Structure 1
Amino acid sequence: MASREISDFAAEEERRVLSLKPALAPKRGRYGDHPNHSYDLWPAESAESAESAEFAEFAEFAGPVDTPGAPLVILLHGGYWRYDRMHLTPFAAYLAQQGFDVLLPGFRRSGGAGGYPETFDDIARIVDTLPEGRPYLLAGHCSGGHLALWCAARGLLPEDSVWHTRTLPTGVLALAPITDLEATRRDDLSDGAAVQLLGGIEEFEQRMAEVDPLTLLRGAGTTGVPTVLLHGAVDEEVPLTQFADYAAVHQDMRTVTLPGIGHYTLIEPGAPGARAVADTLWEMAAAFGAHRPGAGAGTIAHG
């Protein structure tokens, strides 16, 4: 397949966002024994102090904090299941400034210790362990959006699946997500990332049935989890058909389309796309009683 061609706009957006300086988290913790079983946490409204001297040494702690009145967001990073979470730390810090407790976990990834089944084992363990009984919003960008949608669909897995659960996220926000692994394989996104995730072309079809959001949703029509799919109208990284095809199957999902926004500015602190993400998270958090400090600002337009 020929190399992907993108516009100057998309190339500049990608360069600008992925070159941001990583943000130090005020706190961190672990949820397992593997070196990748770690997470960073930004308590609400503490992000401005994350790079101060008092946080120069990380403080290990046993579990997430509970800032009074702050919704918990578990944020799953993208990178086509291969790359680490450092590129998403500035956005995590930004969301903390918007009033959220933000937990950004690591997990075993393709090309290293992860892929099928380890990546999915870790994501299931994260959401089954780290909320500690709190209502929470699960948000993910790109391949992290795929993992978030998969978490919402775990209740649709056969009951004998190791990943089946009846304890699902309170809500899911999928940001420009990979929704269809077959289409991702067909379009050869990121040089065979979907095939690498599932361990090779020979295993692809069988394993896809367990971990592909679109496949799991067919027939059921809903995961039962309040879900919003938010994407930019000029995303050149993930084909727009992935968003439309998933929305056509998920009968009660809400779609937010942002005019003039690409793939990466959804996670660029302070950019219009990132502000829309924060607005949407607060709208979703209101469903379980959270109140935004200084509420009264205008709402965003929905596609």
Structure 2
Amino acid sequence: MPRSISAFAAEEERRVLSMEPVTAPVHHAYGDHPDQVYDLWPTDGPRAPLVILLHGGFWRYDRTHLTPFAAHLAENGFTTALPEFRRPGGAGGYPVTFDDVALAMSSIADGRPFLLAGHSSGGHLALWAAARGLLPDCSPWHSTDLPAAVLALAPITDLAGAIREDLSSGAALELLGGVDKAPSRLPSVDPLTLLRGAGTTGVPTVVLHGSVDEEIPHRQFTDYAAAHPDAELIALPGVGHYTPIEPHSPANRTVIATLNRLSAHVS
């Protein structure tokens, strides 16, 4: 069935995703593959909080659309790193997308405390990265070197739900390698599954979403909050999926304020 959204949601998507990309002043590689790179917006002062920002696009699209938001974070005092990673439809998908996110975290932070943020499917990757301490010790992704705090903006939290709802025409199945492979792969990369039984990641977590988000079913947000009672759930009235990453919007001011508050966890 073709995707159908309201005029409000269509205008929000057009407005935010048509913003002019911003070129970062610094570019680095964190690995040997052409997609293992990141943009960096440094800020003055050695105590500026580091934010590693994971882009959305249902795991398929690149980071370009999030460069205005990344630059805006830097303007507000955050040293901001925006990594790319291998994506489904190209060289990525399970397991290498997750390999890249794990490698980017360790390489970019290099032992420095950091805040982790992500939007939409990037929010899924951020919540997964913050839950890596819940993976078995034998997992190649297990780590106790976790972010100081995580802010997930309109995130996908439940891959099984994303498959069931057929979000973005099978994006989650594509990430996991298809219907035959998804069941065995999902438990190690799904934030909601990892939380069940544990009850917390131990990482201060905020899930922030718009009350009229038409891209992600709201159960994705509320089910995660129910499974992770330590997490804070913020719903912004009258806000859709994309406005939280729109610089200077009222929703984005709440995002900046939340990151400033989470900075208290970065010592």
TM over 0.5: yes
Distance in 1 (CA, whole Å) between partners of 2:111 and 2:265 is: 17
Which residue in 1 is equivalent to 2:186?
A: 208
Which residue in 2 is equivalent to 1:135?
A: 113
Distance in 2 (CA, whole Å) between partners of 1:128 and 1:251 is: 27
Deviates further, 253-262 or 280-289 = 280-289
Distance in 2 (CA, whole Å) between partners of 1:122 and 1:271 is: 31
Which residue in 1 is equivalent to 2:34?
A: 35
State the aligned residue count.
267
2:49·2:266 contact (CA, 8 Å) conserved in 1?
no
2:73·2:80 contact (CA, 8 Å) conserved in 1?
yes
Cα deviation, 1:91-128, whole Å, max 9, x if unaligned, reads 00111111100000000001100000000000000112
Distance in 1 (CA, whole Å) between partners of 2:180 and 2:225 is: 29
1:212-231 alignment, distance < 5 Å: 212-231=190-209
Distance in 2 (CA, whole Å) between partners of 1:102 and 1:182 is: 31
Q: Which has the larger radius of gyration?
A: 1
Distance in 1 (CA, whole Å) between partners of 2:42 and 2:168 is: 33
Q: Quote the offset at 1:5 in angstroms.
A: 1.5
Which residue in 1 is equivalent to 2:17?
A: 18
Whether 2:264 is the aligned partner of 1:286: answer: yes
Deviates further, 126-135 or 260-269 = 126-135
Cα deviation, 1:200-241, whole Å, max 9, x if unaligned, reads 100011100110000010000000111000111111110111
User: Secondary structure of the residue that 2:181 maps to in structure 1?
Assistant: helix
User: Secondary structure of the residue that 2:172 maps to in structure 1?
Assistant: helix
Whether 2:116 is the aligned partner of 1:117: answer: no
Q: TM-score, normalised by structure 1?
A: 0.87
User: Please, which of 219, 222, 225 is the counterpart of residue 241 of structure 1?
Assistant: 219
User: Secondary structure of the residue that 1:29 maps to in structure 2?
Assistant: strand
User: Secondary structure of the residue that 1:107 maps to in structure 2?
Assistant: coil
Q: Quote the offset at 1:273 in angstroms.
A: 1.4
Distance in 2 (CA, whole Å) between partners of 1:80 and 1:201 is: 17
Distance in 1 (CA, whole Å) between partners of 2:265 and 2:64 is: 30
Unaligned runs of 5+ in 2: none
Cα deviation, 1:234-253, whole Å, max 9, x if unaligned, reads 11110111100110000200
User: Please, which of 159, 178, 194 is the counterpart of residue 137 of structure 2?
Assistant: 159
Q: Quote the offset at 1:68 in angstroms.
A: 2.1
Which residue in 1 is equivalent to 2:72?
A: 94
Which residue in 1 is equivalent to 2:5?
A: 6
Unaligned runs of 5+ in 1: 46-66, 290-303
Q: Quote the offset at 1:69 in angstroms.
A: 2.4
Q: Quote the offset at 1:288 in angstroms.
A: 3.0
User: Secondary structure of the residue that 2:32 maps to in structure 1?
Assistant: coil
User: Secondary structure of the residue that 1:120 maps to in structure 2?
Assistant: helix
User: Secondary structure of the residue that 2:109 maps to in structure 1?
Assistant: coil
2:208·2:234 contact (CA, 8 Å) conserved in 1?
yes
Which residue in 1 is equivalent to 2:243?
A: 265
Which residue identity is paired with 1:14?
E
Which residue identity is paired with 2:231?
M
Name the Cα RMSD after superposition.
0.9
Q: Identity across aligned pairs (percent)?
A: 64
User: Secondary structure of the residue that 2:180 maps to in structure 1?
Assistant: helix
Q: Quote the offset at 1:11 in angstroms.
A: 0.3
User: Secondary structure of the residue that 2:166 maps to in structure 1?
Assistant: coil
Q: TM-score, normalised by structure 2?
A: 0.98
Which residue identity is paired with 2:58?
Y
Which residue in 2 is equivalent to 1:169?
A: 147
Q: Quote the offset at 1:44 in angstroms.
A: 2.2
2:149·2:265 contact (CA, 8 Å) conserved in 1?
no
